[in-house]
Amino acid sequence: MYENHLNNIIEASKVIQSGGLVLFPTETVYGIGANALKDDAVEKIFEAKGRAQDNPLILHISDMDMLPMIAKNISELEYRLMDAFWPGPFTIILNKKPGIAKAATCGGDTVGVRMPNNKIAHDLIKCANVPIAAPSANISGRPSGTKLEDILEELRDKVNYIIDGGECDIGLESTVVRVTGDEVKILRPGKITKEDIQKIVDDVEVDKNVMGQLEEGERVLSPGMKYRHYAPNTKCTLVYSEDSDKIVKEILKIAKQYKKVLILTSDENADNYKEYECIKVGSNKNLPQISHNIFSILRKIDSYHVEKAIIEGVKPEGLGLAIMNRLIRACEHDYLQL
Ligand code: TXA
Ligand code: MG
């Protein structure tokens, strides 16, 4: 399969170099990429997505020798984290170097950097020979795109080149962290978990906004936390308890209140909801499977035309924290924890 992509990568890298936009796969989600050193190229990303002007982008590099082009004053701990988790689904906020497109950092002093481990993404960056600024591939507010068929309609006319890499393996965006002194703060949870990072450094904290709701006017470390995200037009409610029977009972109780509901259920609980329309998200013993599927499923909810979608939560630990972070936003914080 890869040989077929070689031509695409060469063509796509020319598009990047000449200031165009490329839709490309990574191991997390699809990205909309532009040359991170060109202001007008990066500005096109904001236009294409309808993205808020104060929400900075992640810069993607293929190799460590690209890092000095974009970041400076990197600490020993920051190097250790990059060494442990790159290439991979891990973004670190660093002090930025001059030369990066102003739009990419929204004029701030810091820059988010990630080295993806998807081969197409890696080769595209290497071939373009510049860092690529790339947000998730979706119109702002919508779930991120994890397979081309989900996003072609909304993005086809907004980019200059498309590389099809099949379904993204992980299905959720990268873990975003910021280091202050000896402390690592997780600003957005992902496949690289708190527990993974604790193997490198003792002091790891999860930002309170990962599961909580922002207060009016509150300052955030990562602007992406402020915005409505992932939510379908259908109103959704998230239900979680450590006791699976309690989840089922509560969901059946809510379901009775509506004429038409949709239930997003684990494979294990599906039999309890036989009289209702359901989508199985995967096994609750297999969180990577749920993370792989979830955005594509969230995108389908509106097509069921129901009054209410009720979603079973997962244990908010490890990869489950990343899944719950996205689901809470999809439900606009309508979350019942029993
Ligand atoms: O997996 C991923 O990270 C995907 C793929 C394409 O690599 N990209 C992605 O980008 O999810 P985006 O733009 O959808 O999300 C980037 C997040 C936003 O929440 C943004 O606010 C935060 O990272 N971010 C980026 N630069 C930042 C900075 N300098 N300081 C704080 N937060 C930053
Ligand atoms: Mg995004």
260-296 pLDDT, tens per residue? 999 999 999 999 999 999 999 999 999 999 999 999 9
Residue whose pair of structure tokens reads 């509106």 in the numeric block: 302
Pick the residue with more confidence: 89 or 218?
89
Confidence of residue 3 (pLDDT cuts 50, 70, 90): low
Among 29-38, 152-161, 210-219, 239-248, the least confident range = 210-219
Q: What is the mean pLDDT of residues 31-56?
A: 96
**What amino acid occupies position 102?**
K
Q: What is the mean pLDDT of residues 128-140?
A: 97
Contact 176, 93 (CB under 8 A): yes
Q: Which domains does the chain have, with CATH numbers?
A: 2-210 (3.90.870.10), 236-337 (3.40.50.11030)
Q: What's residue 336's pLDDT?
A: 96
What percentage of the chain reaches a pLDDT higher than 90? Answer: 92
Q: What is the mean pLDDT of residues 164-192?
A: 97
Residues within 5 Å of ion ligand 2 by Cβ?
136
Q: Whose CA is nearest to atom 32 of ligand 1?
A: 222
6 pLDDT more than 70: yes
**CA separation for the pair 191, 213 (Å, rounded):** 22
- 112 CB within 6 A, ligand 1: yes
215 pLDDT more than 80: no
Confidence of residue 2 (pLDDT cuts 50, 70, 90): low
Confidence of residue 1 (pLDDT cuts 50, 70, 90): very low
The alpha carbon of 187 and the centre of ligand 1 are apart by a number of angstroms equal to: 10
Structure tokens at 44: 């096109």
Q: Which atom of ligand 1 is nearest to the CA of 137?
A: 6
- 325 CB within 6 A, ligand 1: no
Of 232, 231, 303, 238, give the one whose Cα is nearest residue 264: 238
List beta partners, residue 263. Answer: 278, 310
- 209 CB within 6 A, ligand 1: no
Contact 255, 312 (CB under 8 A): no
Of 62, 36, 207, 204, give the one whose Cα is nearest residue 135: 36
Contact 192, 184 (CB under 8 A): no
For the chain, the straight-line distance linking the first and the last C-alpha, in angstroms and rounded, comes to 47
> What is the 8-class DSSP label of residue 146?
S
Q: Whose CA is nearest to atom 18 of ligand 1?
A: 224
**What amino acid occupies position 225?**
M
